[in-house]
């Protein structure tokens, strides 16, 4: 199978965003606007880009396998894990489903939380027509329980840096739950932010993952640098 020929600059950029790689998994730092899995736009996916890179880098004449065990929303940046074998894909998918991949996010918010550190436990209902989730007061029909822990870890000149440990994986969970306590994420118009970001994304970043390797059984810890537009934030982590 032939893959798209990557220009040198794009090849170098993709290579520079590899955070971890072995024979079984590939972990990359996704940019705002990139899609992990194909959608109705038909835009090239992160998986397809890295298939082309691997084919060129390793001189693979046949089809390159890259499975997708989890998703990261298009306007969100940060750690994305891809499986290089079907065995790794099956095991990673199960690990994400069972909460065995510990995921830490950073959110740059327009307001500080009233309580600097706490746990949020809500019921969320997804409205697929408008692609948005809403907090309900209790376990109503189609509601799913959503849990996360957060803490305020820093402040820039205008914004507040909140670290989130995700305990469940619901649709737009962090965006919805933080907005529910008045911490609207910078650039997130859908959940009440006052203005958009120039790149069209939101300031939510998959910062760190910790998990047991699905094949080698060694503990893997990976941290992803935040986007360059997040001025003065790296010092907090």
**Which has the closest alpha carbon to 56: 87, 12, 100?**
12
What is this structure's pTM? 0.94
Give the single-character DSSP code of 193: -
Residue-wise pLDDT tens digits, 94-144: 999 999 999 999 999 999 999 999 999 999 999 999 999 999 988 888 999
The rounded distance, in Å, linking the Cα atoms of 20 and 193 is: 34
Active site residue 73: yes
Residues with Cβ within 8 Å of 235's Cβ and at least 6 positions away in sequence, in order, are: 154
The rounded distance, in Å, linking the Cα atoms of 172 and 184 is: 13
* Distances from the Cα of 194 to the Cα of 73, 161, 187, 207, angstroms: 20, 17, 7, 24
Residue-wise pLDDT tens digits, 148-166: 999 999 999 899 999 999 9
pLDDT at 136: 93
HSE-CB for 41 with a 13 A CA cutoff:
10
pLDDT at 24: 98
- Percent of the chain predicted with pLDDT > 70: 100
Domains and CATH numbers, the chain: 8-226 (3.30.2350.10)
Question: Which residue of the set 13, 22, 43, 73 is catalytic?
Answer: 73
The strand pair at 117-127 and 102-109 is best described as unpaired
Local confidence band at 232 (pLDDT 50, 70, 90 cut-offs) = confident
Which comes out higher in pLDDT, residue 39 or 168? 168
Mean pLDDT of 61-86: 95
User: Does the pLDDT at position 237 exceed 80?
Assistant: no
pLDDT at 95: 97
Give the mean pLDDT of the chain.
95
The rounded distance, in Å, linking the Cα atoms of 77 and 110 is: 18
Structure tokens at 76: 């969100």
Place of tokens 């038909």: 42
Which comes out higher in pLDDT, residue 236 or 226? 226
Mean pLDDT of 75-83: 98
**Which has the closest alpha carbon to 155: 66, 100, 233?**
233
What does the DSSP assignment read for 60-95? --SPPP-B-SS---TT-EEEEEEESSHHHHHHHHHH
The rounded distance, in Å, linking the Cα atoms of 59 and 62 is: 9
| Contact between residue 193 and residue 200 where contact means Cβ atoms under 8 Å apart | no
């Amino acid at each position: 199978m032939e893959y798209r020929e990557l220009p040198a600059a794009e090849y170098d950029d993709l290579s520079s965003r590899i955070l971890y790689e072995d024979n079984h998994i590939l972990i990359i730092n996704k940019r705002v606007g990139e899609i992990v899995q194909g959608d109705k736009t038909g835009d090239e996916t992160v998986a397809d880009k890295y298939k082309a890179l691997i084919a060129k880098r390793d001189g693979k004449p046949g089809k390159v396998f890259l499975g997708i065990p989890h998703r990261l929303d298009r306007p969100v940046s940060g750690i994305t894990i891809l499986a290089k074998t079907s065995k790794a894909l099956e095991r990673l998918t199960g690990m994400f489903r069972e909460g065995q991949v510990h995921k830490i996010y950073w959110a740059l918010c327009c307001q500080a939380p009233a309580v600097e550190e706490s746990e949020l436990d809500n019921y969320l209902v997804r409205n697929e027509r408008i692609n948005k989730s809403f907090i309900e007061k209790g376990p109503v029909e189609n509601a799913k329980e959503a849990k996360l822990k957060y803490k305020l870890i820093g402040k820039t000149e205008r914004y507040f840096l909140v670290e989130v440990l995700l305990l469940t994986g619901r649709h737009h969970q962090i965006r919805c739950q933080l907005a529910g306590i008045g911490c609207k994420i910078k650039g997130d118009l859908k959940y009440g932010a006052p203005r958009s970001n120039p790149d069209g994304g939101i300031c939510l970043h998959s910062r760190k993952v910790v998990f047991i390797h699905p094949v080698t059984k060694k503990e893997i810890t990976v941290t992803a640098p935040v986007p360059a537009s997040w001025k003065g934030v790296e010092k907090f982590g």
